[in-house]
Structure 1
Amino acid sequence: MIEPDRDKECGNATIQAPNALQAPNTLSQSDPLTQHSPRPVRLFISTGEVSGDLQGSLLVQALQRQATKRGLTLELLAMGGDRMEAAGAKLLARTSAIGSMGIFESLPFVLPTLQVQRQAKQYLQQYPPDLIVLIDYMGPNLAFCEYFPERFPDVPIVYYIAPQEWVWGDQWSWGVKLFRSDLVVKATQRILAIFPGEASYFQSKGGQVAWVGHPLLDRMQEALDRDRARLALGISADQLTIVLLPASRQQELKYLMPVMFAAAQQLQAKLPHVHFLIPLALTKYRARIEQAIQRYGLQATVLAEPQAASSDSAATSLTLQAIAAADLAITKSGTVNLEIALLNVPQVVMYKVNSVTGWILDRVLKFSVPFVSPPNLVEMKPIVPEFLQDQATPENLAQASLALLLDTDRRQAMLEGYQSMRLALGSVGVCDRAAEEILNLVAASDTAVKEEN
């Protein structure tokens, strides 16, 4: 077991001391993975940030279900967060708070990331995995794409939720390719795609791709509807409610929250009876968010998940209850946009990075994308309004929000767009399909090694 008093703090990361973990049983490369194998199959899963921890926890649960069907015992080692640990993974490092968007924004996380990776590498050198799963978390996991094939040439690598180069395209600047689909394709034995466009893109680059669908389809099966969510939160049926989702990263408190709260202030002036719900992505953000609520004079309730949101149940998630109960969401871009869409709640999306970072991306690197929010990316069409950088102003957010609250036709058009998008996400059972792909690859790899011997 992991003993918390042996953890070492590193910036925003918690690195587990190697001897705080029990030494795993060794799975001999010559032993076939039959239904009667007494030895655990050791998987290493690498992810980070709040969204990666969520996706990782869903996969961990599915891997355990599928392993049980096959009579296998799994040893799941991970870089992740509370959700993954609650689901049954043994954490080598806590990375749910390590993450940023942008150039300068990433600098504070460079050292913690390197230390976390070094810790994981040292542990895995002593106890090699039978398969490696990389989930999202582009920067650190691309570094692993270079390291693992050299250090563990016979260990299969799966990338689940690959970098979004399929959105960005083959962008070059000053003769340098900005993104590395070639590295992902070369390093992996399987890419598990969650979007149809993602699957097509990596297939065109020569990747071994399986489109499994989007894992939120599974998670949202348990989510409460509007009436039950309002009942759970004690909100009356006629209360005008807006959910604000400003931050899952530290930098977003600085760049997104002031703009979003200023927009909320304008809405409150026009709609005096409105009430705001603000779920916390991480409990450590509570103080700054509550101070901002006071500063902007918002009629708001802060919702914090018990035990830093370690529970993975969609039915009990306060964040999902707040979204389901709302008449509108004003939100940062990210995975949460898809959760909002699947709950049929209209939304306004925003994102900002440091102005210098934005200038470099635009003027120097000539970086451009058609959309940033998942609902728009699924079919590459504008279902939800997006306000980025200079367009992300309180006035624009407030105006778009009022339009969705007061214009029935505009609201209905967005809900119809959600329905079309939902059909393109695949079918329920995503996480189990991903788990089956992974375990099949482990079995195939073990059989190949046995035949060579």
Structure 2
Amino acid sequence: MRIFISTGEVSGDLQGALLIQALQKQAGAMGLELDIVALGGEQMSAAGAKIIGDTSGIGSMGIIEALPYFIPTIQLQRRAIAYLKNNPPDIIVLIDYMTPNIAIGGYMEKYFPDVPVVYYIAPQEWVWSMSLERTKKIVSFTDKLLAIFPEEARYYQQKGANVNWVGHPLVDKMAKAPSRETARKVLGIKEEEIAIALLPASRGQELKYLLPAIFQAAKNIQSKLPNVRFLIPLSLEKFRNKIQKSIQDYGLKATILSGQQQEIFASVDFAITKSGTANLELALLNVPQVVVYRLHAFTAWIGRKILKGSIPFASPVNLVIMREIVPEFLQEEATAENITQAAMEILLNPEKREKTLLDYQEMRQCLGELGVCDRTAKEILEMKIR
């Protein structure tokens, strides 16, 4: 069976890799041999896909921020469509990555209507849709939509999509994380040390907009808590030099680690992080966190004028139950002072920490049961077998 998977950014590469592993496992049980071709990154390649375009480093949030990636994105989109024209697969799987995937889905609907299209982790139109046009397009070309959030499933089902709620794949991934004791031993963290994860960037723009506030807050915390130690999981190798220089500039007791994000998350007492998938990973390991995000001022202005406050939260942890579980500081509020104050309150107040952990339990109920990736893989493979 030939499967084409399309996704982008670091988080999409992770989700694609988890799915590919599950597809290989389920295919083996069914006696199927898979040929998987993809737009993705190193993690998907390591899982067994042939990558025809690396999209892991092409990612942005916002209007101005997206401009440098416009031409590379169009080029990869065209490369994918050219490949599909000459090598139509048995099934297409789209993961997030809205603009290119809508183009790919529309192309398949027009020229290869008999090839099933599955949308897994659909664009978050249920959170921030500005019009129904994109939703209508997604529903039109998607034969089955596999939702990871209950609200996502409800939204797309109401709009006419064939939807199954499978749960969130990070439930499977984080269940395999090491214990706190094991992780701290592996990373050489002493019992008396307060370990804090810093996650300033998985996109280039975030180094500019988020790193200074996060690192200044870390410096403030370091001055108040002498036994603190910072750990920074490296999302992309190209960010290493910039982050290393910033560590020196701010005088932080910090270590950059590559390929050990799960160990870091399992070991730390707290995290200061950009908004994104990592927020859910931390929550699933019961790590309290402060979430920050900034966009270009023009992008933020446009968003406020058009969306008019219709986006209730930025962090997926808060979006899951539409209530603030973790503190969020966005745009002008994303200051080192605000981050420091919120962090110190949680670090020094056991009751506040306990409240966060209780809220995490409530959120966890909305992410589904273990076996998400296997359920998803079965749904995909059985579509063609039928």
Shorter chain as denominator, the TM-score bin is over 0.9
Which residue in the other structure is 2:175 paired with? 221
Counting only pairs closer than 5 Å after superposition, residues 294-443 of structure 1 correspond to structure 2 as 294-305=248-259, 318-366=260-308, 368-443=310-385
**Which residues of 2 match residues 159-170 of structure 1 at below 5 A?**
159-168=119-128, 170=129
TM-superposed CA distance for 1:367, in Å, is 5.4
Distance 1:360 1:167 in 2: 17
Q: What amino acid is the match of 2:342?
A: A
TM normalised by structure 1 equals 0.83
Instruction: Indicate the structure with greater helix content.
Output: 2
SS at match of 1:100: coil
In the alignment, structure 1 residue 127 sits paired with structure 2 residue 87 = yes
Tell me which residue corresponds to 2:193: 239
Once the two structures are superposed, what CA deviation does each residue of 1:408-431 show, in whole Å capped at 9, x if it has no partner? Answer: 111000000111111221111101
Equivalent-residue separation in structure 2 for 1:412 and 1:99 (angstroms): 35
TM-score by length of 2: 0.98
Identify which of 60, 63, 70 aligns with 1:100.
60
Which residue matches 1:55? 15
Give secondary structure in 1 for the equivalent of 2:44.
helix
Per-residue deviation, residues 273-329 of structure 1 (Å, max 9, x unmatched): 211111100111000001111111111111122xxxxxxxxxxxx111112211110
- Give the structure 2 partner of residue 263 of structure 1: 217
> Counterparts in 2 of 1:189-204, with a 5 A limit?
189-204=143-158
User: 5+ residue gaps in structure 1?
Assistant: 1-40, 172-176, 306-317, 445-453
- Structure 2 residue aligned with 1:117: 77
Deviation at residue 146 of structure 1 after TM alignment: 2.2
Task: Give unmatched runs, 5+ long, in structure 2.
Answer: none
SS of the residue 1:370 aligns to: coil
> Is the contact made by 1:64 and 1:74 (CA closer than 8 Å) also made in structure 2?
yes
Q: Is the 8 A contact 1:225 1:343 kept in 2?
A: no
8 Å CA contact 2:192, 2:227 repeated in 1: no
Structure exhibiting the larger radius of gyration computed from Cα positions: 1
Residue correspondences, number: 386
The 1-side partners of 2:112 and 2:132 are apart by: 27
Q: Deviations over 1:17-51 (max 9, x none)?
A: xxxxxxxxxxxxxxxxxxxxxxxx11100001110
Runs of 4+ in 1 over 6 A off after TM superposition: none
Hey, what's the Cα distance between the residues in 2 that align with 1:228 and 1:178?
48
Question: Do the aligned residues in 1 keep the contact of 2:2 with 2:91 (CA within 8 Å)?
Answer: yes
SS at match of 1:424: helix
- 8 Å contact kept, 1:165–1:179: no
Aligned-pair CA distance for 1:366: 3.0
2:26 match: secondary structure: helix
Which one-letter code corresponds to 1:97 in the other structure? G
The answer to whether the 8 A contact 2:199-2:233 is kept is: yes
Aligned mates of 1:365, 1:400 — CA distance in 2:
27
Cα pair 1:242 1:277 within 8 Å, conserved: yes
- For residues 277 and 121 of structure 1, do their structure 2 counterparts lie closer, same or farther at Cα, with a shift above 3 Å needed? same
The answer to whether the 8 A contact 1:138-1:163 is kept is yes
User: What's the CA shift for 1:119?
Assistant: 1.3
2:327 partner letter: P
| Change over 3 Å in CA distance of 1:160–1:106 after alignment to 2 | same
Change (3 A) 1:185 1:355: same
Q: Percent identity?
A: 57
Aligned counterpart in structure 2 of residue 152 of structure 1, from 109, 112, 130: 112
Code of the residue aligned with 1:44 in structure 2: it is F
Alignment-derived partner of residue 239 in structure 2: 285
Offset at residue 272 of structure 1 (A):
2.4
CA distance in 1, matches of 2:254, 2:219: 11
2: distance between equivalents of 1:213 and 1:275? Answer: 34
Task: Report the RMSD for the aligned CA atoms in angstroms.
Answer: 1.2
Please say if residues 81 and 107 of structure 2, whose CA atoms lie closer than 8 Å, have aligned partners that are also in contact.
no
Cα deviation, residue 364, structure 1 = 4.5
